[in-house]
Structure 1
């Protein structure tokens, strides 16, 4: 043991922690078995250890053996609870859109003949010329009514719609308000008018607020006074029978402006 203590002292002075003798040393202590095992190499980043399923985990679990009666006789189905029908929510009714009336299209000319004012539909959209058949027919009507056959123009023609596009309302209601306002302003600027002739359906509809049934009748229009509705000049030229009806109606109405001339 003295030799063993001395060897350990020498080894400690040389900073040798572990050593193995090649031969058995006298008076030496028996070697420890763990010192004889070779150390494992040190790896900086060891690879992940794969997970290996055991035979018990990988093997499928066998289903318990059923009896013969269980395999032959079908199992009764579990009673199902009645499902209450789901009521479908009523669809919201679509909101009806208010139909937008297209803008009417017409051209009117205001004329003055003696004691009467005439709002005349322009068949071609252009002012009446001296040689136009419609103008010649109008002169015949004025002579038959006892009025000057050379009417004077009052203002520029009224053409509708006013604008080719845009967001401005140019429907029938807007056209009626515009035409009535235009005629009322011209009546205030001129001398007294005993009767307003509405010649043609655009003049009857948008100045007199009347329809086809008002033709050859007298109308009382608020803001415009007494009006007389007659067919358009182009229609009178195409339907000669209307001239006879017009003449009969004129004999009743012409007293409005003839009485002033007689007095």
Structure 2
């Protein structure tokens, strides 16, 4: 594979003024968790698969030990008469060039379907394990600020201070060249672990945007499991700081 390939699973997808949510792996996997939850709860139908040499050279192993070449996917769904596209997947680009090529490709597809607004979803790293409820926003159109504040999004001057790296920020910037309104919604997260609680914060904003109430049960279960991990990490960190480290056979390794 020398070039990015788009596989269309349906040729007759007809959408009316859809909005698009983008949630690719990133800080805390926050955006990825949100879109996966949306796809499941809104019964999204996969319409496009995207394969690219800009993704890592990797396959994923399924439960039955078959493999799946890493890719990104676009799903379509409808809720309360609002058509929605959801970009989800396994990876962002592994190169700067790939980020721009794939970002432009995603927007080509968005224009093809007549997308009127794009929300990119991600995490806002705080460096603290204590969870803070909140969603930080950035927009490419100042007129969106007041509307999103009404949905509970907070805007902080010059934040994030280092900008928004990766697909969440780049797509926002590239939308300027396509005259597509776009916003980035970032849940507060430590930045160290997969963070379902931060994903819940963004999901509640999306509830207000779409005027629905999406079931959070599965995210809530994952959040409670992650809380246990966080408490163990905090305990180990305190032990390291005090010099009271656990014995070797009590040590715990985490894969998160």
The TM-score normalised by the length of structure 2 is 0.31
- Which structure features the higher share of strand residues? 2
The TM-score normalised by the length of structure 1 is 0.31
Based on CA coordinates, which of the two structures has the bigger radius of gyration? Answer: 1
